[in-house]
Structure 1
Amino acid sequence: MDHRTPAATVGVVGGGQLGRMMGEAAGPLGVELVVSDPTPDCPAAPVVRDQVVGDFEDYEAIRTLAERADVLTFEIELADPDAMERVGEETDTPIHPDPGTLRTIQDKLVQNRTLEKGGLPVPAFRRVDTEADLRKAGEELGWPVMLKAREGGYDGRGNRPVEGPEAAAEALEEVGGAALAEEFVDFERELAVMGAVGDGETRAYPVTETIHEEEILRESVTPARTNEAVRSRAREIAFDVLEILEGRGVYGIELFETADGEILVNEIAPRPHNSGHWTIEGAGCSQFEQHVRAVLGWPLGDASLRSPAVTANLLGDVTDPRVAELAGTESILGTAEASLHWYGKREARPLRKMGHVTLTEADADRDTLLSRARKLVGSVSFK
């Protein structure tokens, strides 16, 4: 049975909120998505052609995707690059970004070494395998240090600040062993640039300011509230990052702006990213449509700013897991400049990303937009 459309079919490993928004963006292009995800009726399921139920490293599930798709991609770093590489070789299905890029990104030590070798500015770092390694790293880099799990962590997960040698054992146990320690960056603000690599072309969206709390992204402000020289340098570094990564697609490039105006690369996500959700309303072409275009080798879309944009995440404000029901959305729905995005997750958990709200307004003051977004998010709650 031929499941292909006249346009194209994209297979996506992962069917979470990113897959859902990718499916929403692909539809108007005539592109269909088939996703694989271990959760039956995953968040992406209502808006894509089909779901294959299978773990992110499930070879058979990934092969099924490849057999039904013109190109294979992923929306989560937990996807297995070895399984995808094998499937690609056996089925001649293109995979973008390249599994080798995913393999590099999955290990934060390898990622930092790759960036450093490519001449990109990164925080000073040390490999950490034991408590003694962490204590030595703290002595060399200066306490406190940021301890990061080498594998399995993304979007702030697996990161833990370590104040001093007395906390070394507990911190290492918390992140699960193999890690790296980075110098603790005294940053002025955190920034992000969504970059896109197409067939012989690259684009970068305007620089976004990202606001985190407890290592979780809470809000984004675009354009970033910094000077033009810093924004220009951030975009320049983003293009340099794209040069050393293999494969087409959208990349979330997270950065630090230091107190003296320097830019350091923090982490890279080889997929659409929370810091780029503003592009749905605020840019000519959303990061999700851009990713679909890029992996298919189609011309890239307009990455320019339509209007200033602020995004605020809807996080699970619960103490225990419960059925996800959002109450009080009237204030968001009644605000002309606001757009509500619900991710379709059935269970609310503490600080879980359940959706987001974006405010856009031409020539708007970004501080005012941020204040309004916070007020709107604060008006809703989970029952």
Structure 2
Amino acid sequence: MHQYTESATVTVSVPGPTLGVVGGGQLGRMLAEAASPLGVDVVVLDPTPDCPAATVADQIVGAFDDPDAMAELAARADVLTFEIELADPDLLDELAAEEEIEVHPSPDALRTIEDKLIQKDTFGEAGIPIPPFHRVDDADDLRAALDEFGSVMLKARTGGYDGRGNVPVTDPDDAEAAIEEVGGPAMAEAFVDFERELSVIGVRGDDEIRTFPVGENVHEAEILRETIVPARTTDDVLDEADRVAREVLSHLPGRGVFGIELFETSEGEVLVNEVAPRPHNSGHWTIEGALSSQFEQHVRAVLGWPLGATDRRAPTVMANILGTVDEPRAAHLGGLDDLLSESGVSLHWYGKEQVRPLRKMGHLTAVGDTDLDVLLSRARDLRDGLHFE
């Protein structure tokens, strides 16, 4: 492979190059689904045999930090990307040099983002608005943060997702237990009195930045439940969210899609919460709700191809389908008749063989020129009518 060369004046033809993806979960699956119509083949590396992406892409079974498996991925691809922050940036840099293969987004962007403390330091030094935070190496550091901020969210610096690695702390007497629960280096972030949570899916191309319309996110137990587009806020806040997102993108090297989570404070400020160097759960609405999806945009961007339009087609609500079970078991989803009979509603099943409590198993989107509250209620009713048999 590696016959593919990229430049600002790249000439696109099909069949296209092969894209290698570190990670074969639902994001890898949807990347492959978006790549296929573009004539782009996808090969994924994932440690789980028959991972979700394996039905639509070739799979190499191997650990994300396995040099031999990563070298095989690079040998079979023309460009590398990743759909999970567990990708090793040092190994990606080595492959880029040894195999002469491009990696996007840049491993440097992954280094910045994978450690929440480095991420916050980088954005703070750049003047990007962020909540106050404090480095935490031990219980004394956490108590100092509590003394400064009153109450905090203690976050593991690496590896946390869907609320894992996050511990709210208000009492200094709980410092030791909280440190133990997080289980490693951490940072303490002051609680933000926010009006709503927002997100922007941004795309960095060769010489341009594009953003999708601002979404409003509804979380419960720190897991995303719904994304509503357009966000139900003022035009001034929408403009500021887009401005802040573009500022974030300008400080992250390499091409690709970035998910930028934001807080809208009760005073109307917009603060950066966290950034993901990949397609993001809050951007799944774009598959049906925008002129091009975040996944198509990521494929285009990492290959150096022209970007697509990011305009919204119509008001859209995305609702996650989570595991509503008490213990793990084989995944069989029922109650789909009403959902599939509803005009403007689409189902995305991730193909995971086992359902676990609150595991993301799929999502649905509801698109229509109607009141957003009505659309949200419809999506919730249809999602809540599903059950695992």
Quickly name the TM-score band, shorter chain normalised. Answer: over 0.9
Residue 166 of structure 1, CA deviation: 2.1
1:6 and 2:6 are equivalent in the alignment: no
Deviations 1:108-139 (A, max 9, x none): 00000000011101100000011111011100
CA distance in 2, matches of 1:305, 1:107: 32
How many angstroms apart in 2 are the aligned matches of 1:72 and 1:92?
11
| 2:56 partner letter | V
- Is 1:296 the equivalent of 2:303? yes
Work out whether residues 281 and 360 of structure 1, in 8 Å CA contact, stay in contact via their aligned partners in 2: yes
User: How high is the TM-score relative to the length of structure 2?
Assistant: 0.96
TM-superposed deviation, 1:153: 1.1
Shift of 1:61: 1.4
1:62 is the counterpart of 2:70: yes
Deviation of residue 6 (structure 1)? 3.0
Looking at structure 1, the residues matched to 316 and 95 of structure 2 have their Cα atoms a distance apart, in angstroms, of 40
CA distance in 1, matches of 2:163, 2:248: 20
Q: 1:92 to 1:141 in 2, by over 3 A?
A: same
Question: Which amino acid is 2:244 matched to?
Answer: I
Pick aligned residue for 1:125 from 111, 121, 133:
133
Query: Residue type of the partner of 2:20?
Result: G
Report deviation, 1:2: 10
Partner of 1:224, secondary structure, is coil
Match of 1:245 in 2: 252
Match of 2:27? 18
Structure 2 residue 379 is matched with structure 1 residue 370: no
- How far is 1:57 from its partner? 1.4
Q: Distance in 2 between matches of 1:111 and 1:9?
A: 31
Identity of aligned residues (%): 61
- Paired with 2:170 and 2:376, the residues of 1 have a C-alpha distance of 31
Residue 385 of structure 2: aligned partner: 379
Q: Tell me, in whole angstroms, the C-alpha distance in 1 between the residues paired with 2:64 and 2:375.
A: 38
Please give the per-residue CA displacement for 1:204-230, whole angstroms capped at 9, x wherever unaligned.
000000010111001000000001000
Match of residue 97, structure 1, among 87, 90, 105: 105
Contact 1:130 1:177 in 2 (8 A): no
Aligned length: 380
What does residue range 149-298 of structure 1 map to in structure 2 within 5 Å?
149-298=156-305
Give the CA deviation at 1:66: 1.1
Q: In structure 2, how many angstroms separate the alpha carbons of the residues matched to 1:355 and 1:181?
A: 32
Amino acid at match of 1:206: P
Larger mean CA deviation between 159-168 and 318-327 belongs to 159-168
SS in 2 for 1:61: helix
3-state SS of the aligned residue for 1:300? coil
Give CA-to-partner distance per residue, 1:345-382, whole Å, 9 cap, x none. 000000000000100002x1111111000100110111
The offset of 1:72, in angstroms, is 0.2
Amino acid at match of 1:33: V
Q: Secondary structure at the match of 2:249?
A: helix
- Structure 1 residue 156: Cα displacement: 3.1
Of 44, 47, 51 in structure 2, the residue corresponding to residue 38 of structure 1 is 47
Cα shift at 1:172:
1.2
- In the alignment, the residues of structure 2 paired with residue 345 and residue 3 of structure 1 have an alpha-carbon distance, to the nearest angstrom, of 34
Runs of 4 or more above 6 Å deviation: 1-5
**Aligned letter for 1:13?**
V
What is the correspondence of 1:139-150 to structure 2 with a 5 Å cutoff?
139-142=147-150, 144-150=151-157
Give distance in 2, aligned partners of 1:221 and 1:163.
Answer: 31
- Equivalents in 2 of 1:128, 1:36: separation in Å? 34
Q: Separation in 2 of the partners of 1:347 and 1:3?
A: 39
Partner AA of 1:109 in structure 2: L
- Within the candidate set 18, 22, 29, 2:38 is matched to 29
Deviation at 1:163, TM superposition (A): 2.1
Tell me which amino acid in the other structure corresponds to 2:373. Answer: D
* 8 A contact 2:258–2:280 mirrored in 1: yes
User: Residues of 2 paired with 1:160 and 1:128: CA distance?
Assistant: 13
- Please point out which of 118, 122, 131 is paired with 1:110: 118
